[in-house]
Amino acid sequence: MTINYSMVSEGQSAISVARSDNFPSLLRTKRSNVQQVSADDRKSTERVKRSCENPNIDCPAEEMTFRNVQMRGADEGSTIIYTCPECGYGFQEGN
């Protein structure tokens, strides 16, 4: 929202308010709050030596795959999502 304040004459003022959606923009119409991620983007080939912490079974895996995603604002840390390639158990940690 844009607010313009201007003096009309001595002792008087005028305020005009304009919303950004009153002015069409091709770039603004392409903007979305939802990010589309392909299946290839979700696959992780990076591994870290970390044993699986699945509380339901005793998984023998000694490595986990991980990916780093930005789930919050740019001024906050990213989130690391770990997945066990053996049993599929996953969890996340704030970074």
pLDDT digits (tens, 9 = 90+) for 14-48: 676 777 667 777 777 777 666 666 666 666 678 89
Domain ranges of the chain: 2-94
State the maximum Cα–Cα separation within the chain, in Å, rounded to a whole number: 81
Query: Which pLDDT value is given to residue 6?
Result: 54
- The CATH number that domain 2-94 falls under is 2.20.25
Higher local confidence (pLDDT), 66 or 20? 66
| Rounded distance between C-alpha atoms, residue 57 and residue 90, angstroms | 13
- pTM for the predicted model, two decimal places: 0.53
Query: Which pLDDT value is given to residue 63?
Result: 93
| Rounded distance between C-alpha atoms, residue 81 and residue 62, angstroms | 16
Q: Helices (DSSP H) in the chain: which residue ranges?
A: 26-30, 39-42
